[in-house]
Amino acid sequence: MTAPPPIAVGLVGAGTWARRMHAPMLAAGPETRLAAVWSRHGSAPNILAPAEPERSGRAARRASDDVDPVPVTADFDDFLSRCEAVAFAVPPDVQAVLAVRAARAGKAVLLEKPLALDLPAAIALAEAIDAAGVVSQVVFTKRYHPRTRAFLTAAAEFATTGVRSCYLHGGFLGGPFAGGWRQTHGVLFDLGPHLLDLLDAAAGPIAEIRATGDPQRWVELTGRHGNGRVSQATLSGHIGLSRPLTTVDLFGPDGTLHYDTDGMDHDECWPIVRREFAAAVRSGRPHELDVHRGLTIQRLIERCRIHLAAA
């Protein structure tokens, strides 16, 4: 049986995350091919301002690394015409605007978290995707790893009373992710989506959530789930650790169920992201981690943001 042709995916962005993850993943195939790159001029007030031609060309070459060269276009509509789907590796506020345009052009979208930097923009993005009838998928990275999926399968059968969890690292102390929107909006927007998604999936939908702490340095979250369970989460990007520390512990009458990302190779996630996105695009069926999953988490982030702002 002949394999279907790869999905032509365009990449919006040519920064660190685009170079490290998106471009190599999409170009590796066989389910996808990297069809085009559109790189935004980061300093321009106009969100659609492309990078200068020379800079854009360099960015595309860096984005594609050792794979075959890919077309670079300065015009966003021309970029959209070259692909069936679009992957985003840009700040959330930029994604929220450009993904709406991609959806309205009939393109499936592979989105980063959070969907946006404010709830109205996230809602508008979800509405645009629904109106266009296109497939969406969100890169909640850890959810694609076999270890995480095995944990969630076990959690579904575990009699949970309460949950303790944390996501701690030193990424905000220096390095490529220490500035920009992450530094401005803090750990709630950067680390929060990952941990909230895990807690909501492992212990049941979060009905209420409260937050306290310093948005830039240390945040504590307390959630009450619809099934009566209670969860606690700690977030910080300012801790001098040799490796990120991400743990979720379920406690109940039968003891504990432990999840830890120690030793997890995130490179094992990318082929699964690519394969499942291509399958969703071909079938037209939404992925479990679609824009509405992203919106659920965005609503939780907004409630936490309000608590932190009022403190």
Domain 7-141+267-288 has CATH 1.20.120.430: no
70 burial via Cβ count (<10 Å: 0-12, 13-18, 19+): buried
Quote the pLDDT of residue 55: 46
Long-range pairs of 278-282 with CB within 8 A, sequence gap ≥ 24:
278/6, 278/7, 278/31, 278/32, 279/31, 280/108, 280/135, 280/137, 281/7, 281/84, 281/85, 281/108, 281/135, 282/4, 282/7
What's the confidence (pLDDT) of residue 48? 59
Is the peptide bond between 30 and the residue preceding it cis, with omega within 30 degrees of 0? yes
Domains of the chain, by residue range, sit at 7-141+267-288, 146-263
The answer to whether 233 and 195 have CB atoms below 8 angstroms apart is yes
Rounded Cα distance, 59 and 79, in Å: 15
For residue 15, the model assigns a pLDDT of 85
Query: What pLDDT, on a 0 to 100 scale, did the predictor assign at position 42?
Result: 57
The SS3 assignment for 34 reads strand
Phi, psi of 41 (to 5 degrees): -80, 105
Q: What is the model's pLDDT at position 311?
A: 74
Looking at residue 136, its pLDDT comes to: 98
Reduced to 3 states (helix: H, G, I; strand: E, B; else coil), residue 207 is strand
pLDDT reported for residue 172:
83
pTM of the model: 0.93
Beta bridge partner(s), residue 87:
11, 110
- The pLDDT of residue 52 is 53
* Alpha-carbon dihedral sign for residues 22, 25, 27, 31: negative
Q: What architecture does CATH give domain 146-263?
A: 2-Layer Sandwich (3.30)
Encode the chain (311 residues) as per-residue pLDDT tens digits.
Answer: 678 899 999 999 988 888 889 999 999 999 999 999 998 765 544 555 555 554 445 445 544 554 457 788 888 999 999 999 999 999 999 999 999 999 999 999 999 999 999 999 999 999 999 999 999 999 999 999 999 999 999 999 999 999 999 999 988 888 777 778 888 888 999 999 999 999 999 999 999 999 999 988 999 999 999 999 999 999 999 999 888 999 999 999 999 999 999 999 999 999 999 999 999 999 999 999 999 999 999 999 999 999 999 87
